[in-house]
Structure 1
Amino acid sequence: MMNRRALLRQASWLAGATLTAPTLVGLLQSCAREDPLDWEPQYFTPDEARFVTAYVDTLLPRTDTPGGLDVNVHVFIDRVMGVNSPAGDTPSPMQAGILEFDDGARTKYGKAFYELDESQRGELFIAAENLAPRYQPQVWGTAVGEQPPVGFYRSLKSMAQWAYLSSETIGTEVLNYDPVPGAYNGCIPLDSVGGRSWSL
């Protein structure tokens, strides 16, 4: 038979658990809703910036080389858009594309794109990759034949890849780096360059 002291102790634990449970649930929910945006966009709205951050992380994840977020591709896109897009009340094609892509994520999964897990984002990327028009082959930077509009997904993908490959970290630490023109050496032995002077 339980004595009065043990009964009071269990009752106090039960009361304490009852009072603290909503607090703990609220704390867990607030952690789940924690804003993943850790940079301040200059062009995008916070939700658009979250989308771009998630897009870049999905396209260029960190592996044995730095990811897109490691070299601030998302911030670069925000700054480029800010410089090249006129301010106004009408959303730019980039902003309209973000909204449409995000709406597709909500329709399929019931969540914004940045809230999806890696496999769900990957499925949306595969679908967009299959549907988006491709760039025409190019000769010296000029498209062969008429280039149809490639749409939002491929435009943002191209911008993200350009930003990634143009970053100093990737250019010097991941890719081979051969600066042209190289360093100027005004006085070197001729035999150090094969016995012949440079033509240029």
Structure 2
Amino acid sequence: MNRRNALRRTALLAGSAVATPTLLSLLQSCKEQKRVDWIPQFLNQEQAVFLASFVDTILPRTETPGALDVKVDIFMDLMYAKAYDQAAQEYVKTEIDKFNAACKDEYGSVFADLSEEDKTAVLKKAEAETAKFNPGVWGTAVGEQKPVAFYRQLKSMALWAYFSSEEVGKNILSYDPIPGEYLGCIPLSDVGNTWSL
């Protein structure tokens, strides 16, 4: 073996010895990075990760599918992209960033990076501090509606998206694609499960 080849191999070995810990730390950081496995049409990556974490926290998978299983986050992103005007879109993005900033101030991390206990604490605090939607009759709110904070709007849309999904409507709620006679006055015990429309 000539001297030039020996020096080249020594340099390669020394370089790989220095680079290996760096490469391993890069791989480890990628493994821990939270990502969504779909391309958001409206939200940026960090906002989409927030939304996925938010809906998964309020509607996790149990013996029934969770929000991520029925793609609530993807549906909400599409709603923001296609059904909201520019002012409403700006509001959504601004409020998501504010929500994450508040989590960072209080807990040191954005919502998606918090522990399950901290996420629960954040949501309990938001639940206690924000006005609720008034009960409604046939889609109309009863009484004067106080302004509803972004948290409540986000939660409401997530619940609506979840219970409107085909999977939940057909396989979790009671579902009759060809309804029979109308029975207006039956005991509640005979109704059974909540019905899907």
TM-score range, shorter chain: 0.7 to 0.9
Q: Please, which runs of 5 or more residues in structure 2 have no aligned partner?
A: 1-13, 181-197
Mapped partners of 2:165, 2:26: distance in 1: 42
**Deviation at 1:151?**
1.0
**Deviation at 1:140?**
2.2
Aligned counterparts, 1:26-65, within 5 A: 26-33=26-33, 35-65=34-64
- Pick one of 138, 161, 164 that aligns with 2:162: 164
Q: Is 64-73 or 79-88 further displaced after alignment?
A: 79-88
Mapped partners of 2:29, 2:177: distance in 1: 51
Mapped partners of 2:93, 2:141: distance in 1: 26
Mapped partners of 2:152, 2:114: distance in 1: 20
Mapped partners of 1:177, 1:153: distance in 2: 30
**Deviation at 1:17?**
11
Tell me, what secondary structure is at the counterpart of 1:74? helix
Q: How many residues align?
A: 166
Tell me, what secondary structure is at the counterpart of 2:150? helix
Mapped partners of 2:16, 2:120: distance in 1: 41
**Deviation at 1:22?**
3.9
Q: Is 65-74 or 76-85 further displaced after alignment?
A: 76-85
Q: TM-score, normalized by length of structure 1?
A: 0.75
Mapped partners of 2:77, 2:129: distance in 1: 25
Q: Please, which runs of 5 or more residues in structure 1 have no aligned partner?
A: 1-14, 183-200
8 Å contact from structure 1 (residues 165, 171) kept in 2: yes
8 Å contact from structure 2 (residues 40, 74) kept in 1: yes
Letter in 2 for 1:57: D
Tell me, what secondary structure is at the counterpart of 1:92? helix
Following TM superposition, the consecutive aligned residue runs of length 4 or more in structure 1 with deviations greater than 4 angstroms are 15-18
Q: TM-score, normalized by length of structure 2?
A: 0.76
The change in CA–CA distance for 1:24 and 1:108 in structure 2 (over 3 A counts) is: same
CA-to-partner distance for each residue in 1:157-188, whole Å, 9 max, x for gaps? 00000000000100011110023556xxxxxx
8 Å contact from structure 2 (residues 76, 161) kept in 1: yes
Aligned counterparts, 1:87-166, within 5 A: 87=86, 92-166=90-164
8 Å contact from structure 1 (residues 133, 151) kept in 2: yes
**Deviation at 1:46?**
1.3
8 Å contact from structure 1 (residues 85, 92) kept in 2: no
**Deviation at 1:101?**
0.7
8 Å contact from structure 2 (residues 40, 77) kept in 1: yes
CA-to-partner distance for each residue in 1:118-144, whole Å, 9 max, x for gaps? 111111000000001011122222111
RMSD over aligned CA atoms reads 2.2
Matched, 1:76 2:75: yes
**Deviation at 1:53?**
0.7
CA-to-partner distance for each residue in 1:34-79, whole Å, 9 max, x for gaps? x421111111111111111111111100000000000000011011
Partner of 1:197: none
